[in-house]
Amino acid sequence: MTFPSPHLSRRQMLAASAAVVVAFSAASCTQAESPTPVPTPAGPAPTPSDPWRPLAHLTAEKNWLNDPNGLVYHDGTYHAFYQYNPQGNSWGNMSWGHSTSKDLVHWEQQPVAMEASPDEEIFSGCIVMDKNNASGLGSAETPPMVALYTSAYGKNGALPQGSQAQSVAFSLDNGTTWQKYQGNPVLNLAPTNNNFRDPKITWYEPGRYWVMATVVADAQVVKLFKSTDLLRWEYLSDFSGVGAQGGLWEVPELLHMDVEDSTAKKWVMLLSINPGGIAGGSGMQYFVGEFDGRRFTAENAAAPGAPLTESQWLDHGADYYAANSISGAPGDKPVLLGWMGNWDYAQDVPTTPWRGSMAIPRELTLVRGAKRLELRSAIAGAARETLDRSGEVKSKNLTVGSSPQDLGQEFRGRTQLIELDMDLKSAREAGVLLRHSSSASETGLRISYNKETGSVRVDRSQAGTSNFSGKFSPFHEVALPSPGNKVHLTILLDSSSVEVFAAGGTAVISDTFFPDWDNTGSSAFSMEGDTDFTVTTRGL
Ligand code: FRU
């Protein structure tokens, strides 16, 4: 099976208005009572010469990044490692970059953790704290941080050039410096495989062992293994033959989750697919089911090759990929960090000297949907608390008729956390236009809800620079589970991205876009009738 995508060739190279206010009912502006100040971001801030630098999302100061790897919470600090090219602003020389955060919003870049060599690139993987030093790589006093990563072998590697196997590295200084385990690779396939990668491990309490999920990406197979010492891995089972199949299966993860409002627990398999995602190119599907210590069985899963709408998707935007959970994160819900990118065009986006950013960390809840269990995503607690303490709260109630309504000075901004309530009285469709120019309401990022189709749409086609790639898809849509006249959206707008949470987080759209620096206007619009709006924002 071949996949005509830039991602594959990368892999092959490696394997080698004029606004008339019809009605303006009750307009009010409120300000928050003296918000507790939050620290300013440790990294660079957006400027006219670096206009797309996010303020509330992890980026590297310079150079390329993709998947988050080795996400771990230890001693009050969140560590994010990630696929990073120390030498340039496009994919290559894959190494693990490293950033740390106390609040999941402000990140501080650390020295590169593990650097590529001509023999071995360091592909995606995970980190756990080996608290009991079961690996023997540390001591009882200094338990090691253990990383499982994919060795992608080069010229004089331990395995033939182009092959991929799983390896171990460890740190005895809280993730600052890393040593590779001498017995690497710790897990290989026979025969050696060029697409065997992305280990992510989960503790299986009933059996008291670690379970590793990996993929044979081009065969659309997840392979599970177990270990008690993180070094010796025993094959358990394969998971395949369900859901979307139209591309590489990458970055799997098994999660054990509570079902909300019940005592039941279920297992969830997160799985990235590229291409073949719901919004085109890269996307993340998931499966809910049971895991008996050996085998994961998906329940109510889409048949292989079924229409993509039958699969379950973590996000319906174009830019949410390779998300995995933060090991040891406080709280009883998985906290995920995902890459806000799409292999269809990630290498072409016009940012410099950096390319690639992470999504806002999200916590997952498993809830009963109409037909089956579903994942709900929300901005992770720690991040949400930080965002809620940032900036001033401004709020406005208005009724908009057939002409757009400029929300005014208080709602201008490049980075905002917006809570939007709309009641589509007689309107068919309503929404907000963000990052628009001072005069026109025709350009801008258009976020809308259509009550006839019951769907939320993010349209980035007029939102700024988009000619860098023919594959930069213009808009993305998600159908809400129980559509009605009223809708609530949480919108996190940053310099070059938007994340829209609808239907309590069961419908999410994450998209990048590249607006003009000077365009900071926000308007509300309503089509073919009136809509009541309540808009609350905090400028970050
Ligand atoms: C997913 C992925 C992984 C791989 C890494 C390489 O985006 O292709 O499968 O380990 O990126 O950078």
Single residue among 349, 381, 413 that ends a domain in this structure: 381
Are residues 79 and 53 both part of a single domain?
Answer: yes
Are residues 195 and 137 both part of a single domain?
Answer: yes
Are residues 350 and 447 both part of a single domain?
Answer: no
What is this structure's pTM?
0.93
| 435 vs 521: CA distance, rounded Å | 5
For residue 212, the domain's CATH number is: 2.115.10.20
Contact call for residues 127 and 117 (beta carbons, < 8 A): no
| 183 vs 169: CA distance, rounded Å | 10
Choose which residue among 90, 249, 250, 284 to substitute to test ligand 1 binding: the one with the highest number of ligand atoms within 8 A of its C-beta.
250
In angstroms, the Cα distances linking 311 to 278, 286, 443, 458 are 9, 8, 33, 21
In a domain, 354, yes or no: yes
| 288 vs 277: CA distance, rounded Å | 18
Structure tokens at 164: 């991929």
In a domain, 164, yes or no: yes
Q: Which atom of ligand 1 is nearest to the CA of 321?
A: 7
Q: Checking DSSP bridges between strand 354-355 and strand 362-368, what pairing results, if any?
A: unpaired
Q: What are the residues facing 421 on neighbouring strands? A: 488, 534
Are residues 358 and 427 both part of a single domain?
Answer: no
In a domain, 17, yes or no: yes
Q: Specify burial of residue 432 (Cβ count, 10 A radius: 0-12, 13-18, 19+).
A: buried
Q: What residues contact 40, with CB distance under 8 A and at least 6 apart?
A: 106
Are residues 216 and 348 both part of a single domain?
Answer: yes
Q: What is the pLDDT along the chain (540 residues), one digit of tens a residue?
A: 232 333 433 433 333 322 222 222 223 333 333 344 444 445 688 999 999 999 999 999 999 999 999 999 999 999 999 999 999 999 999 999 999 999 999 999 999 999 999 999 999 999 999 999 999 999 999 999 999 999 999 999 999 999 999 999 999 999 999 999 999 999 999 999 999 999 999 999 999 999 999 999 999 999 999 999 999 999 999 999 999 999 999 999 999 999 999 999 999 999 999 999 999 999 999 999 999 999 999 999 999 989 999 999 999 999 999 999 999 999 999 999 999 999 999 999 999 999 999 999 999 999 999 999 999 999 999 999 999 999 899 999 999 998 999 999 999 999 999 999 999 999 999 999 999 998 766 799 999 999 999 999 999 999 999 999 999 999 999 999 988 999 999 999 999 999 999 999 999 999 999 999 999 999 999 999 999 999 999 988
DSSP 9: H
Single residue among 381, 415, 450 that ends a domain in this structure: 381
In a domain, 527, yes or no: yes
Q: How many domains does the chain have?
A: 2
Distance 67 CA to ligand 1 centre (A): 6
Are residues 173 and 263 both part of a single domain?
Answer: yes
Contact call for residues 195 and 216 (beta carbons, < 8 A): yes
Are residues 180 and 254 both part of a single domain?
Answer: yes
3-state DSSP of 468-516: CCCCCCCEEEEECCCCCCEEEEEEEEECCEEEEEEHHHCEEEEEECCCC
Provide the domain limits for residue 480. 392-539
| 431 vs 417: CA distance, rounded Å | 15
In a domain, 2, yes or no: no
In a domain, 5, yes or no: no
Distance 420 CA to ligand 1 centre (A): 35
Choose which residue among 123, 194, 273 to substitute to test ligand 1 binding: the one with the highest number of ligand atoms within 8 A of its C-beta.
123
Residues involved in catalysis: 67
Q: Which atom of ligand 1 is nearest to the CA of 11?
A: 8
Are residues 207 and 103 both part of a single domain?
Answer: yes
Are residues 49 and 119 both part of a single domain?
Answer: yes
Are residues 425 and 370 both part of a single domain?
Answer: no
Q: Which atom of ligand 1 is nearest to the CA of 217?
A: 9
Are residues 312 and 438 both part of a single domain?
Answer: no
In a domain, 400, yes or no: yes
Are residues 352 and 405 both part of a single domain?
Answer: no
Contact call for residues 76 and 327 (beta carbons, < 8 A): no
Single residue among 381, 416, 442 that ends a domain in this structure: 381
